[in-house]
């Protein structure tokens, strides 16, 4: 199904649409590399917070990105994020990082660097890549493009469940407000906004399971092969 040359399968969509779980499972089933681009933006945000940088300083952020090594590794269906050699897989999921990543994501110079790293990874091997702009900007000629969506209430429910399973205390109303705010910022930024690529297959996962969504994606891939 995945041929000899590097093939790219892109999955875009808003937070909570099921991208990460679906992309991870899909990559596992196809035996290809899983690339979480959000993890890259999060990792750089973590570094900027730790170094006490002014997050409004675009050129400072670009300089920070240039001097940073972000490595993503796949391990038995899971993914590890290394920031300058340190495992930050858990640290990048904190609410502070989640709410401050937009500073990094709206900075054009940083996006250029991130996109360069993502293209390099996709040139070496077949990948399932997920994010906001991966089918529109990063790999506009990708072999297969998908856009996952779900009702707002369902996306919020999934986020709450995920965080509670990790033992976090959640205030449902503030989580919903933050999710809405993140949607708005992702949809309206001038560079690399969340958008449906013209040639993407749109899947509404509101009433679908992870395996059901992966099966649906595989059906589309098979039909197009
Ligand atoms: O996918 P995840 O929710 O981990 O992404 C965190 C944030 O990183 C998003 O809200 C978005 O602002 C940013 N992002 C981005 N472009 C991508 C992936 C993520 O701007 N390709």
Q: Using DSSP, state whether 143 is helix, strand or coil.
A: coil
Half-sphere exposure of 45 (CA within 13 A, CB side): 25
What is the pLDDT, as a whole number, of residue 77? 77
pLDDT of residue 166: 86
Nearest CA owner, ligand 1 atom 2: 38
Separation between Cα atoms, residue 175 and residue 173, nearest integer Å: 5
Whole-number Å distance, alpha carbon 171 to ligand 1 midpoint, is 22
Q: Which two tokens stand for residue 74?
A: 């796949």
Question: Distance between CA 16 and CA 153 in Å, rounded?
Answer: 10
How do the domains of the chain map onto residue ranges? 8-216
Q: Are 180 and 186 in contact (CB under 8 A)?
A: no
Tens-binned pLDDT, residue by residue, of the chain (225 aa): 545 568 999 999 999 999 999 999 999 999 999 999 999 999 999 999 999 999 999 999 999 999 999 999 999 878 999 999 999 999 999 999 999 999 999 999 999 999 999 999 999 999 999 999 999 999 999 999 999 999 999 999 999 998 899 888 899 999 999 999 999 999 999 999 999 999 999 999 999 999 999 999 999 999 987
Query: Around Cβ 36, how many Cβ atoms within 10 Å?
Result: 22
The CATH H-level superfamily of 8-216 is P-loop containing nucleotide triphosphate hydrolases (3.40.50.300)
Cα 144 to Cα 128: distance, rounded to the nearest angstrom: 9
CA distances from 205 to 134, 156, 175, 181 (A): 19, 13, 20, 21
Interval between CA 132 and ligand 1 midpoint (Å):
6
For 59-83, write each residue's pLDDT tens digit.
999 999 999 999 999 998 789 999 9
Neighbours of 144 (CB within 10 A): 21
Contacts of 132 (CB under 8 A, 6+ apart): 12, 13, 37, 38, 105, 186, 192, 193, 194
Closest atom of ligand 1 relative to the 15 alpha carbon: 3
Query: Which atom from ligand 1 is nearest to the alpha carbon of 106?
Result: 20
CA distance from start to end of the chain = 7
């Amino acid at each position: 199904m995945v041929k000899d040359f590097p093939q790219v399968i892109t999955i875009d969509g808003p937070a909570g649409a099921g991208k990460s779980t679906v992309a991870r499972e899909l990559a596992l089933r196809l035996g290809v590399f899983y690339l979480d681009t959000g993890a890259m933006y999060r990792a750089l945000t973590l570094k900027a917070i730790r170094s006490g940088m002014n997050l409004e300083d675009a050129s400072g952020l670009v300089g920070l990105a240039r001097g940073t090594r972000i490595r993503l590794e796949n391990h038995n269906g899971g993914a590890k994020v290394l920031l300058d050699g340190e495992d930050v897989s858990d640290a990048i999921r904190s609410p502070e990082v989640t709410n401050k990543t937009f500073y990094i994501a709206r900075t054009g110079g940083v996006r250029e660097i991130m996109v360069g790293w993502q293209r390099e990874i996709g040139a070496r091997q077949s990948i399932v890549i997920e994010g906001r702009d991966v089918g529109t900007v990063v790999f506009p000629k990708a072999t297969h493009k998908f856009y996952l969506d779900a009702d707002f209430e369902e996306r919020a429910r999934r986020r709450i469940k995920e965080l509670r399973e990790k033992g976090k205390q959640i205030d449902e109303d503030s989580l919903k407000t933050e999710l809405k705010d993140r949607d708005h910022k992702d949809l309206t930024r001038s560079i690399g906004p969340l958008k449906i690529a013209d040639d993407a297959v749109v899947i509404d996962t509101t009433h679908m399971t992870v395996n059901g969504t992966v099966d649906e994606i595989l059906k589309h891939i098979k039909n197009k092969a």
